[in-house]
Structure 1
Amino acid sequence: MFTRNIARTLRAGTALSALTLATSLLAVPAFAQDTAPTTDQTAPETPAADEAPEIVVTGSLFATKVTQSPVTTVTAESLDARGISTVQDGLQRLAANNGPTLTNSFSANGAFAGGASAISLRGLSTNSTLVLFDGLRAAYYPLADDATRNFVDLNTIPDDIIDRIEVLKDGASSSYGADAIAGVVNIITKRSFTGLSARAEAGVSQDGIAATQRFSVTAGIGDLDRDGFNAYVSGFYYHADSVATRDLRSPFNSDDQTSIGGPNNQVNGDNFAANYTGFGSNLYVAPGSGGRYQLLAGGCANGNLTQTTAAQQGGNALLPTSICQQDLTNRYGVVAPQVDRFGISAHVAKTIGDSAEAYLELNFQQSRSQYSGAASSIYANAPAGIDHEPFSTVGGGASFAPGSGALTLPVYVCAARVNCTAANGTLNPNNPFAASGQTATLIGAMPNLVRHDESRSRVYRAAAGIKGSFGDDWNYKVDATAMRSELRRSATGYVYIQHLLDVIADGSYNFVDPSSNSQAVQDYLAPAHSTDASSELYQVQASVNKALFQLPGGPAQLGVGGSFFYEGVDSPSANSDANGPTERYFTINAFGTKGHRTVTSGFGELSLPVLKQLELNLSGRYDHYSTGPGYFSPKVGAKFTPVDMLTVRGTWSRGFRIPSFGEANSLPTTGYVNNTPKLFSDAYLAQYGCTSTNFNTTACASYLRNGSYGQTTLASPDLKPEKSRSITLGAVFQPMRNVSFSVDYFNIKKTDAITSLSSADALRAYYSGQAIPDGFTIITDAPDPAHPGATPRVAFVQSHYVNANKQKAEGIDFGANGRFNLGGVTWTTNLDATLMLELSTTLADGTRETYVDTLGNYNLTAGTGTFRWKGSWMNSFAIGNYTVTGTANYTSGYDLSAMDQGNAYKDCGLAPSPAYTGCRVKSYFTFDLNATAKIADKFTIYANVLNLFDRLPDYDPVTYGAYLYNPVQAGDGIYGRRFTVGAKVNF
């Protein structure tokens, strides 16, 4: 079992008949769970839905069985039943979690927030889902998703002390303030624990990859209800092996796609002229006066020496005749980083008198993520802020034009590194043309330097609180928390630009035979680098509530409260250009931000059961930010129960998202986009021998077709909050005990959505020779040496964040729960699914982009798309001490297009070649099987097989968060069939 449908805490219904709804749900795999929250460690038999105890549900100040908003609950028992090892992994599988989610695998694929994980309810991105710990805010991860979106890292969840996680799938700014636009994830820790519990677990795929180990122990004393005291301590360790692309099966492990009808995209492969990118991880030189490139060394440091044909060269006079054929994806690609996590938590709770209970909780957790990537670059642009004019040492030294990607090797080298001549220096040993008095142009990547990245996150958290009652039935609750997240990013193997120019100018680095260089020289060229970042949050929150008077349906209740919190981020750039454009590294992300603010809030809630069949709920909250803005968030809810088996519910609310520190305070942030023919006017293309029809052939200058431009977005301190309007309408039908069906419609609209301006208009104006539109700055690239008189291409387009767009998310959540006793067998079946009807953006000019069933919103999702359907269906069968659980997981396919990339809706516009890729990526279905045996009173063993039928995802040539597949659609399914075994003891 994985999730608990809201039928446990929200008795509701549907206007549909049970048969009709059941049929629709069975057609779409989903998941849900019908287990009431409990502090019992032994997973007791599930009570009937109408026997659920009153609990405090996320999003309400009152203890109740029912709220007006849909809630899904993940429990430790439900994760165990499905064979899921971590809460992070479980939340990623939620049906309501869609495309812009951030998975751990993105850490190894260039994510801005490498080393972290976050979910995106309703596909509205990670910054529109609020994550709480026991109802209190948590510190942000110090890095921002895509350098703009603040979020809480799911890897900081202390898995083994979690009682349950309630996911409120509704706007909740009226209760929690900013960022709760798409919903709330409330991580609720165990109130108490008595005894000793330990677990050991190990897993690996059938191909021997993706191995994991998990160990944990929890010990507690005292019975809180009987003794008035409980204390427990819990520790855990978790390890996951790194996975390289070469470990996967074909076609996901190679640049050679011929097995699926595609091209051989190995560097210098069959279509070499169209696909070369700096000739891979070897070094090539050409005469400075112009001419064909050749290997700098006689042979290949990486790859196989191959002679290119005239057809492969495509008539390009610069391409070499002898090359090193390489499969860069197979050699350097990374699927997932190595992850090591450990932590310890302590919790003390004590009753005070007859009416109060206090607690103190302390948590520490460390997470380390690391991987080795591609060969070190000596030619790539250094992102964000670099000077894009060619720069050089003064007189006779090395030079480099960032846009052209080419270094110049001088004729002479000398210790002074400038003004080197025959009188004070020697002929350059790295320049094979020096004897003839010519400079050389150097391109490629370092054969013996590989980039390595590591993120180490440490989280410290303390929380304390007291709750109870006083006077005439007044209830109160006071909580405080302090949380700090510290992140150290370390990197080796990255070339420092000025040091590269130094060793070229003085000849101290042997480029002909890089392996002969001493470690000291290697370290000078690529010095180790680390950057420390941190974030903090301190909060105090208090509330009181009371039953006011009696209404026909029950007592009217009023709750009021207040909150004060401080939040701050200090994340300096890991690659600042403050000392000049050469005093920095190639390719290390330059994003950085720093800021802090305090927030004062007041909130209230009124529950009015006006009739036995009808209850109204009104809530609201006002938040004032020290940075200026204030916002009031109201919410109205109602539930109507015409008959015992049917309840209809609905909510209307307004919310907001405060501009993130990245949007308001960051350094410039740059993303790179490949040039396409639609960027250029016909007249501009003609300067380079290009037309729109020959753009992707060697008849068109590689300066254009192999180029890219940077979209640099600048922070805007004066941004307004994003505003939202949310509507939910739902029902749950419970025709008999332990059987329920639910359906909930959601409709969310954002206005003043924060966005970067589209570069298209500025690019079209530049390439047509027209005035650049207001709000943009164009930075041009270095000229093409082959066409020095032509207008240079664009290197960077700069613009600020603005409040300009509108966004809409609309869809339907389905759920079904059943529990049946069939002789000696207990069958539990839970389904949960989400159907996305719309996810769209309306731009400032009125243009509407819609993304469902495509790869959009491409700019938010790493090209992972918006799935129309997502869900799971779990069935569990228990016989005595034995339980077998099967879970079907389904994610729908999508069209290879994205309207935010200039495509028409579902026009196959991003497919590289529909002839072999097709226009759609197919849906993905997997089945998991888990078996548990209680072989002694205190001892349980279990085993599971994830992806039992060993299904691999469909081929996706466009998504850039992984190679040839969609990592959000596939998840761990890319590893094929995977086995886990473990044991638990409880005393």
Structure 2
Amino acid sequence: MKMKQIAYAISLLGIAGFVPALAAADQPEKVEKIEITGSSIKRITKEGALPVQVLKKEDIAKTGATSTVDLLQKLPTIQGSTGESASVGGGSFGFSGVSLHNIGETRTLVLLNGHRLALFGGQTLTGFAAGMDLNSIPISAIERVEVLTDGASALYGADAIAGVVNFITKRNTTDGDVTVGYSEPEQGGAKEKRITFTKGFGSMERDGFNVMISAAHDERTQLNSTQRDFAKTGKIFFGANGKNYRMQQFSASPIPANATDDLGQLINPYLKVNGSCPEKTFRVTEPYNDGSGLVDDYCGFDFVGELEIYPIRKRDSVMATANVALGENHELYVDALWSKTNQVSRIAPVPGSISIPAGSALHDKYLKPIGITGDSLAFYRMFDLGKRESNDTAKFIDLAIGVKGNYAGWDYNTVYTRSESDVEGKISGYPGARAVAKLRSSGLLDPFVGPGKQSAEAMKAINAANYNGYWDGGSSKLDTLSARGSSELFEMPSGMAMLGLGLSYQKEDFQSKPSLFAQGKLADPVAGTPCGAGVPCDQRFGDGSATVAYAADRTAYAGYAELILPAMDTLELSTALRYDNYSDFGGATTAKASFRWTPTRSFLLRGSVGNGFHAPTVPQVKAARQSYGVTSDKYICSAELAQVAAAQNARCQPGNRQYDQIAGGNALLQPEESRQATIGFRFEPTPAISFGADLWHVGISDVFGQLTEQEVFANPLRYPNSWGKTTDIGTGVDYLAFVADNQNLGKQYSTGLDIDISGRKKFGSVDFNSQFNTTYMIREVAQTQKNGPYYSSIGAIGELGAVTFRWQGRWTNSIKHGNWLHTLGVNFKAGYKDQATQAEVLNAAGNVVDYETLRLNVPSFFTYDWQTQWNFMKNAQVTVGVLNVLDRDPPLSISTGGANRGQQFGYDDRYYDSRGRTLYANFGYKF
């Protein structure tokens, strides 16, 4: 029988005949009662039927992590998450998410004290960033983190296909705590300072109430690419396979500008006259891919050297909880969180194209003398305008008001939550395309001179055209009302049968908020002058980014039930059934069945089987088709690509360039459906040693996604519906564009093994603790199109554009002696094959003699973290530590494409930290 049929059958047999009374048991509360052991050593008697990893407050401190983002990146079960570095040219609004087992951020449910949170207000129409922004949750307020690595819980939500991360905050405490800290990489950049304050008032037992408030502030400076040798330039030399190679990552829009000649080839007038390329560029010679024998010979701009590879960041947060006794058996509680994250990322000055008509002063001065007689296009970088800056602010508010207690033998919990994420993105360093065209036609702007060579009048005009203000953003709101409860049903020979029931209702709103400039509705973006009635509209120089504003909402309700049956003294069976109904997708029934068998006190066997249902986000369905950035890779116009461009009445991009993208919602998008199962054990031969492993499997059908650009550009005639065109407002040229609409691509299967080993030993007055956690990926395959072939990301970046590490883990060892605690952490990732990338082959003299497609072997990667805590007073503690003790640089990577990636080059910023050896110190005082 299929997993779904098995789960349904067991669930219906267990639940049928029982009459609901209140609402279902809340699994996070169960975890709180069962999983918390007060020790890093797990105990069989505390383990449940589902695999839950718990990080307590002291475990969090040992990692040296200073934020929730950094903390989760250290967990072996976390792969495929978006980090802060993705904002470097990536347009992420500073989003940082979490993905369990590389199954996806949109399929990993994040909870705060057991309730759902609003998705990120800056999520895009393709589903990127459609998760919870971890920057919103202050690490200082966390008491523990519970990670459920079994997905699609009928209790948590059928959409939690990958699993659940539940942050439990401090509450019911009268303690006070102040902590200040500072971090600084040894090589400079990314300096961080922080302060937190926590204080509780009142005792539930004595006063009948408790109020706790926690506030935190942290800020970090930028890290420039030039501060790291492995990231400072787009030109790198390396050896492999007994040969010498060169790889150049560049933009075809330099300063002074490149231009097109009468054959459409890309040339550089400065290079033609001087025989070499100017500063901050390097020479690029590339043959056409159409068999014509033509060769582009121009100057590529080294934009990598202009990047800030770690952005400036400031975060503020306030978390408050209040609990008030309502008689002996009931309690009113309120949880409130406010947070604000501001992130500033800067990249190279803006590039774009400028028309140079034949007979114009610029044409006669620079192009005619080198043989260009017709109209030309100049591909120019407005270096004198300064770097492009994205100043993003994300505000988050979460409020939960509830009543819990016991009534008529039922433990109940009813709660209303309001959660909201608001994102505002400001920009500077961007002029309007028509404004730049006017500067050229006026004779003020000269794109063929170097940095700082414009006239004083031209500089004044250039600065006056710089748009500095709000660009784009969005808001996401979630209102939820839920009731749940549990009670003993009847006595069985081996114990009491338990029933849990629940109902929930939620309303989700999303609104995109592009500025009038982003929508292409202004004639003068700086002055704010509207267009229309014969007044032409302007768009941002360098990209046709006319964003379409939209708003949409949905409602959903759910009912669920859980039954626990102690079938034998050593065997516990659990069943759960859930029904969800979405206003835009209808209803779906999901189920889960699990068991927990303990034949001896030292051995546990557990397993589960179930299915899930994941509706697409509101933007994925309802967003209008619009411009959506550019491709991650650059492409040369092949004969087939030229044929496709002609069919669109458009041109290929000249030279080796990125192409514009178009994307939009898809009203025909179908929900994803999943099947999953787990089987695992725990063995504790002695109270000091614990070993466990959980084998898990997830299969997903109708996976959301887009056809990869690499596949479409490699076979352009095979995908006629993946092409469109965009118009360069400044020049009026129509260019071929890649259409990346949302689709149901096919199926995806993931199987892996989570392993943990822990032990402790006392040597006189010295306590030694050791814990080893790792995830081994057995299988991960996915289709990039429906009914297409399957591809795997394990140990290689290929058609799926990312890598899934075969092995990933952390080994933590601690020694406690008196007032001292020393911790050594070892972090490791397996090696993999880099994405296939074309590189230049060099001879002994350093000259290019050939081109070759390489797949570099990226080696396994180990880093070591050290920390020492000294409790020099009863209420005071000093912690000092070093992250990446050996100062390991990220391994070499020459690939440039892939999802959720910034503009960094020379290493893969998605998987490795560019900060290097980092020293930190914290001082804490309790009162």
Residue-by-residue CA offset, 1:90-122 (whole Å, 9 max, x unaligned): 112211111x210011111x3342301001111
Change (3 A) 1:590 1:188: farther
2:787 maps to 1:850: no
Q: Which residue of 2 aligns with 1:16?
A: none
Task: Name the aligned partner's letter for residue 102 of structure 1.
Answer: T
Query: Deviation per CA, 1:524-578, whole angstroms, max 9, x where unpaired?
Result: 4332241342111111111121101111221100010111111111123463346
Partner of 1:384: none
How many Å separate the matches in 2 of 1:728 and 1:44? 23
What does 1:553-592 correspond to in 2, within 5 Å?
A: 553-573=494-514, 575-577=518-520, 582-587=538-543
CA contact (8 A) 1:79 1:87 kept: no
Answer whether contact 1:147 1:591 (CA < 8 A) is retained: no
Is residue 126–residue 705 contact of structure 2 (8 Å, CA) maintained in 1?
no
Is 1:161 the counterpart of 2:161? The answer is no
Aligned position for 2:17: none
Q: CA deviation at 1:360?
A: 1.2
Partner of 2:212 in structure 1? 232
Equivalent residue, structure 2, for 1:481: 417
Residue from 599, 603, 607 that aligns with 1:642: 599
Q: Does the 8 A contact of 2:358 with 2:364 survive in 1? A: no
**1:533-612 pair list within 5 angstroms:** 533-573=474-514, 575-577=518-520, 582-587=538-543, 594-612=551-569
Residues of 2 paired with 1:285 and 1:683: CA distance?
20
2:631 maps to which of 660, 672, 687: 672
Letter in 2 for 1:358: L
Query: Match for residue 201 of structure 2?
Result: 221
Task: Give the paired residue count.
Answer: 838
**Which region of structure 1 is more displaced relative to structure 2, 460-469 or 309-318?**
309-318
Match of 2:465 in 1: 525
Q: Decide which moves more: 882-891 or 212-221.
A: 212-221
- The answer (yes or no) to whether the contact 1:890–1:925 under 8 Å persists in 2 is yes
Q: Contact 1:546–1:559 (CA<8 Å) still a contact in 2?
A: yes
Asked if 1:125 is matched to 2:67, the reply is no
Q: What's 2:3 paired with?
A: none
* Counterpart amino acid of residue 603 in structure 1: Y
Partners of 1:211 and 1:606 lie apart in 2 by 52
Q: Distance in 2 between matches of 1:306 and 1:132?
A: 48
Determine helix, strand or coil for the equivalent of 1:649.
strand
Return the offset for 1:444: 2.1
Residue 673 of structure 2 aligns to a residue whose secondary structure is strand
Aligned to 2:831: 893
1:206 pairs with 2:206: no
**Is residue 691 of structure 2 the alignment partner of residue 741 of structure 1?**
yes
The within-5 A match list for 1:498-509 is: 498-509=434-445
Closer, same or farther in 2 for the Cα pair 1:866/1:591, shift >3 Å?
farther
Structure 1 counterpart of 2:808 = 870
Deviation at 1:234, TM superposition (A): 1.6
Q: Closer, same or farther in 2 for the Cα pair 1:817/1:857, shift >3 Å? A: farther
Distance 1:941 1:85 in 2: 15
**Whole-angstrom CA distance in 2 between matches of 1:113 and 1:307:** 30
What is the CA distance between 1:626 and its match in structure 2?
A: 1.4
Residues 410-440 of structure 1: per-residue CA shift (max 9 Å, x gap):
646xxxxxxxxxxxxxx66996569999765
Name the counterpart of 1:926: 863
Contact 1:196/1:218 (8 A) holds in 2: yes
The structure 2 residue matched to 1:46, chosen from 31, 35, 39, is 39
Partner amino acid for 1:367? Answer: T
Kindly state the Cα deviation for residue 88 of structure 1 after the two structures are TM-superposed: 1.7
Deviation at 1:830, TM superposition (A): 1.2
Cα distance in 2 between the residues matched to 1:526 and 1:300: 33
Deviation at 1:226, TM superposition (A): 3.4
* C-alpha contact (below 8 Å) 1:113/1:146 kept by paired residues: no
Please point out which of 826, 829, 835 is paired with 2:770. Answer: 829
Counterpart code for 1:947: N
Distance 1:774 1:45, change over 3 A: closer
Tell me if structure 2 keeps the 8 A contact 1:649–1:730: yes
Partner residue of 1:102 out of 53, 64, 82: 82
Structure 1 unaligned residues grouped into runs of 5+? 1-35, 53-64, 267-274, 380-405, 413-426, 688-700, 786-791, 902-911
Question: Partner of 1:969: helix, strand, or coil?
Answer: coil
Aligned equivalent of 1:92 = 73
Tell me the TM-score normalised to structure 2 length: 0.82
The Cα of 1:87 is off from its aligned counterpart by 1.8
Do the aligned partners of 2:126 and 2:741 also contact (CA within 8 Å) in 1? no
Match of 2:356 in 1: 408
**CA 348–495 in structure 1, closer or farther in 2 if over 3 Å, else same:** same
Distance 2:737 2:878 in 1: 58
Q: How much identity, in percent, do the aligned residues show?
A: 24
Contact 1:428–1:434 (CA under 8 A) maintained in structure 2 = no
In 1, Cα distance between equivalents of 2:174 and 2:145: 21
Spell out, residue by residue over 1:611-651, the C-alpha distance to the aligned partner (whole angstroms, 9 max, x if none): 11111001121111111321111000101111111110000
Task: Mark the CA change 1:748 to 1:793 in structure 2 (over 3 Å): closer, same or farther.
Answer: farther
Does 2:918 match 1:978? yes
Q: Is 2:611 the counterpart of 1:631?
A: no
Structure 1 residue aligned with 2:616: 659
* 1:312-331 pair list within 5 angstroms: 319=297, 327-330=302-305
Query: What CA distance in whole angstroms lies between the structure 1 residues aligned with 2:634 and 2:62?
Result: 49
| 1:160–1:234 Cα contact (<8 Å) kept | yes
Cα shift at 1:310 = 11
Indicate if the aligned counterparts of 2:539 and 2:545 stay in contact, CA closer than 8 A: no
The verdict on how the C-alpha distance between 1:914 and 1:310 changes in structure 2, with shifts beyond 3 A counting, is closer
Which residue does the alignment assign to 1:140?
Answer: 119
* Deviation readout 1:374-395 (Å, 9 max, x if unpaired): 121122xxxxxxxxxxxxxxxx
Is the CA contact (8 Å cut-off) linking 1:856 and 1:866 kept in structure 2?
A: no
Q: 1:507 to 1:812 in 2, by over 3 A?
A: same
Q: Following superposition of structure 1 onto structure 2, how do residues 935-974 of structure 1 map, counting pairs within 5 Å? A: 935-960=872-897, 961=901, 962-971=904-913, 974=914
Q: How far apart, CA to CA, are the structure 2 residues paired with 1:284 and 1:369?
A: 33
- 256-265 vs 198-207, greater mean Cα deviation: 256-265
- Determine the structure 2 residue equivalent to 1:13: none
Aligned position for 1:805: 746
Is it true that 1:516 corresponds to 2:464 in the alignment?
no
Shift of residue 89 of structure 1? 0.8
Post-superposition shift, 1:224? Answer: 2.2
1:73 corresponding residue in structure 2:
54
SS at match of 1:831: strand
Tell me how far apart the structure 2 counterparts of residues 410 and 525 of structure 1 sit (CA, whole Å).
Answer: 25
Residue 151 of structure 2 contacts residue 161 of structure 2 at CA under 8 Å; is this kept in 1? yes
Alpha-carbon distance change, 430 to 147 in structure 1, aligned in 2, over 3 angstroms: farther
Are positions 1:83 and 2:20 aligned together? no
The one-letter code matched in structure 1 to 2:542 is F
Task: Check if 1:343 corresponds to 2:286.
Answer: no
Q: What are the Cα deviations for residues 426-457 of structure 1, in whole angstroms up to 9, with x where unaligned?
A: x6699656999976542221121221111111
> Please, what is the CA RMSD of the aligned residues?
3.9
Among 165, 170, 176, the residue aligned to 1:196: 176
Alpha-carbon separation, structure 2, partners of 1:438 and 1:778: 27
Tell me which residue corresponds to 2:703: 753
Compared with structure 1, are the counterparts of its residues 610 and 944 closer, same or farther at alpha carbon in structure 2 (3 Å cutoff)?
same
1:718 CA drift (Å): 2.5
Is the 8 Å Cα contact of residues 409 and 430 (structure 1) preserved in structure 2? no
- From the superposition, tell whether residues 729 and 857 of structure 1 become closer, same or farther in structure 2 (CA, over 3 Å): farther
Whichever residue aligns with residue 527 of structure 1, its letter is Y
Alignment pair present for 1:357 and 2:331: yes
Confirm whether residue 444 of structure 1 aligns to residue 380 of structure 2. Answer: yes
Query: Which deviates further from its counterpart, 508-517 or 89-98?
Result: 508-517
User: Please, which of 276, 290, 304 is the counterpart of residue 279 of structure 2?
Assistant: 304
Distance in 2 (alpha carbons) for counterparts of 1:451 and 1:839: 38
Q: 5+ unaligned residues in a row in structure 2: which ranges?
A: 1-30, 522-530, 839-848
Cα separation, 1, equivalents of 2:431 and 2:711: 35
For residues 932 and 611 of structure 1, the distance between their equivalents in structure 2, rounded to whole angstroms, comes to 47
Q: Is the 1:457–1:488 contact (alpha carbons within 8 Å) kept by the matching residues of 2?
A: yes
Greater shift in the superposed pair: 433-442 or 166-175: 433-442
- 1: CA distance between counterparts of 2:69 and 2:285? 53
Give the partner amino acid of 2:325: T
